Amino acid sequence: MASKNEWCGCYGASAIKVRVSAPAVEGSANKELIVFIAKSFKVPKSSVMIESGKSSKLKKVTFPLSEKFQAFVKEMNNGECV
């Protein structure tokens, strides 16, 4: 559990590492991750979906492409993460 929600950089060639402040108990961290992604990239919470890994540290999350996310990708390692 982190002291704050934060982006931590690339995790391999096609993933982004994230730390969330909620404990991994009864879905709290998953809910916090969804809220963090929605706020960061200006997308509705209802459109952020954990496709796989709900009970794992490694998750596949989908959400609509936004301008904020495109700018974030360009900023992270010249777009090499995703």
Domain-located, residue 68: yes
Q: How many structural domains are present in the chain?
A: 1
Domain-located, residue 1: no
Domain-located, residue 82: no
Give residue-wise pLDDT tens across range 41-80: 999 999 999 999 999 999 999 999 999 998 888 887 665 5
Q: Which residues of 2-24 are buried (b: 16+ CB within 10 A; e: fewer)?
A: eeebeeeeeeeeeebebebebee
Contact 21, 3 (CB under 8 A): yes
Range of the domain at 32: 6-77
Q: Provide the CATH number for the domain around residue 60.
A: 3.30.1200.10
Unique residue bearing structure tokens 């931590």: 8
Q: What is the pLDDT of residue 12?
A: 80
Give residue-wise pLDDT tens across range 1-13: 789 999 988 888 7
Domain-located, residue 57: yes
